[in-house]
Structure 1
Amino acid sequence: MTDATSGTVRTGRATNGPVELHYEAAGDPSDPALLMVSGLGSQCITFVDPLIERFVEAGFFTIRYDNRDVGLSSKFAEVRPDLGAVVAALKAGEEPPVPYLLSDMAADAAAVLDALEVEAAHVLGVSMGGMIVQTMAIERPERMLSLTSIMSTTGDRSVGRSTPEANALLMTPAGPSRDEAVERMILGARTYGSPDHIDEERLAEIAGAAYDRCFHPEGTARQLMAITASGDRTEKLRGVTVPALVIHGDQDNLIDVSGGVATADAIPGASLAVLEGMGHDLPPAYWDRLVDLVTEHAARAAGS
């Protein structure tokens, strides 16, 4: 990645207890920090370089990192994924057998800020990343200047539901080969992406880069266990005081727009932006709008 400000990128390792987290920072450290949190199974490079550069040009010191169990961060390979056991335990009122929860992943985000000596940041999360930053706002609000939750939901299972086709795809792991991983990403875009902005060549490049960097589907399964075991945040979100922006696409078939509406309704004073034609992805057609929304939100938060 080329830093639009200085031509360099700072990379490093943050630690949260035994967990190590790979991070990459770009821009001027004297600018307001923007911590960007990836979604289920996604590595930090999902926030592609040209998008990072746009945020740097908008005046942010950007920080992206690999969540635990994906990319170059620590894995929990000793724990066999078993979502069925988690669901059964919850139904029985028992402690679900998971190696970590969204609270632990929110602590990871704070650890990344610690490693870069950032006291507080604007924090943006996509999909599962939105769930992580919501949890961070509940548990660690002092580390946040603002919250942006994108294509996410509250944990209330009555909202933000997937279509049957999207849910079936989510629950079916990709095959082990590079070609199968690429095909899976393209199929995902066709199933729940922005229907008018599917660029298969671009998607194949992104999927291939992710496969070459780290292919670890078991980590995705354990992250899904963490989401399931963490439950509904709605009531706790009602006490959030961090300035909040919620962004969602009206064509999202993986997390229906009702999840974004419920998130904005739960957080006092939250703003909601529903983007026409956007699905469960961030194609370049929406980058200008996204950067503008986040930049304006950060400015409002700074002035509040």
Structure 2
Amino acid sequence: MVRYIEVEPGVRLWTEQRGPADAPPLLLIMGAQSSGLGWPDALVETLAADHRVVRYDHRDTGKSTWSYATRPYRIAELAEDARAVLDGLGIARAHVVGMSLGGILTQLLMADHPERLLSATLLATIAVSETPFARADGSTVPVAELPGVAPWLDEEMARPAAGPGLDAELDRRIRLWRVLASAELPFDEQHFRELERGIIEHTGSQDISEAFAAADQSGLLRTEALAATEVPTLVLAATADPLFPPPHPWHLAQCVRGARLLEIPGLGHALPPALFGPLTDAILAHTAGTRESTAPAGTAHRQD
């Protein structure tokens, strides 16, 4: 079921719900520049067997209002959009799953509106915390010294399509998925091509907004609130993520009070069909109240 939610005057967000209306709500928050359709249908359908699953388009993506050019906003305000989606759909509390920027926004919800979350699952993201990373040997690493985005990856993401037209744009997006996905798994080009073709058809345009790169990123830190949160949190460690590589998942698990850590071997900064099973199994076990973690907060499998 599709509904548009007005989050402020003149700004509407596209939302879609799947699954039983009386099932526990589960909100999916996707990353920067990504439509809600970035959550693949097959993954959503599996989650919808147990949940009322909600996915939505951020501002300046998909069918939602493209407003940044005339009404700039801060990245932090996108977390309030997620809260407004819950309000608009009449959902008091939800399990929330956030990937990449969606993981950052989920942490803001955990800190600012913990009463709205039944649980949180975070993947392929970084901590909005200044807590140093603790190695197994007892030494610590300041947040500023954790690995950043490699320059070559920045350059690759900025490289334009080879020419005009849909095929050239799809080729550009597939090239990006190749570098964001794990080198440990065979690359499923057909899956990502169909995914991106569907997103372009959904959006009605090949345009990619520059809003997320231009938006003010101030006011994101929630160090104390995350260290004191009571929201049950699962960190899915993307062991092959080139954008936020290890030890970022282990650092995130250390920053969030009580967080549990589960490795997903071969997970990069993408959602390939080969990993739908492990991902949905982990999410559903967590939302059901079980702890499918391999390490409590403050410990890790690898810290190198």
Q: Does 1:147 align with 2:120?
A: yes
- Distance (Å, rounded) in 1 between the aligned partners of 2:29 and 2:267: 19
Determine which of 46, 51, 69 is the counterpart of 1:54: 46
Match of 1:188 in 2: 176
Q: Answer yes or no: is 1:169 the counterpart of 2:160.
A: no
CA distances 1:26-81 after superposition (whole Å, capped 9, x unpaired): 11111100000111111111112111111112x111000001111111112535xx
Picking from 43, 54, 77, the partner of 2:35 is 43
Quote the residue 1:254 is aligned against: 243
Q: For residue 224 of structure 1, what is the aligned residue in structure 2?
A: 213
Listed as ranges, the gaps of 5+ residues in structure 2 are 129-142, 292-304
**Cα root mean square deviation, aligned:** 2.2
Distance 1:141 1:173 in 2: 40
Report the TM-score, using the length of structure 1 for normalisation: 0.83
CA distance in 2, matches of 1:260, 1:113: 27
Measure how far apart 1:142 and its partner are: 1.0
Instruction: Give the secondary structure class of the aligned counterpart of 2:247.
Output: helix
Counterpart position of 2:259: 270
TM-score for the superposition, normalised by structure 2: 0.83
Equivalent residue runs for 1:188-207 within 5 Å: 188-195=176-183, 196-207=185-196
C-alpha separation in 1, matches of 2:254 and 2:53: 28
CA distance in 2, matches of 1:141, 1:163: 34
Paired letter, 2:188: D
* Whole-angstrom CA distance in 2 between matches of 1:288 and 1:213: 26
Does the 8 Å contact 2:180/2:243 carry over to 1?
A: yes
Gaps of 5+ in 1: 1-9, 80-97
Q: How does 1:1-304 map to 2 (within 5 A)?
A: 10-18=1-9, 19-57=11-49, 59-79=50-70, 99-155=72-128, 158-159=145-146, 161-172=148-159, 174=161, 177-195=165-183, 196-214=185-203, 215=205, 217=207, 219=209, 221-226=210-215, 228-300=217-289
The size of the alignment, in residue pairs, is: 273
Deviation, structure 1 residue 158: 3.8
Identical amino acids, percent of aligned pairs: 30
Q: Aligned letter for 1:180?
A: A
Report deviation, 1:165. Answer: 2.3
Shift of 1:213: 2.3
CA distance 1:74–1:159, shift in 2 (3 Å): farther
Structure 2 CA distance for aligned equivalents of residues 243 and 43 of structure 1? 26
Change (3 A) 1:153 1:160: farther
Report the secondary structure of 1:254's partner residue. Answer: coil
Q: Which deviates more, 19-28 or 222-231?
A: 222-231
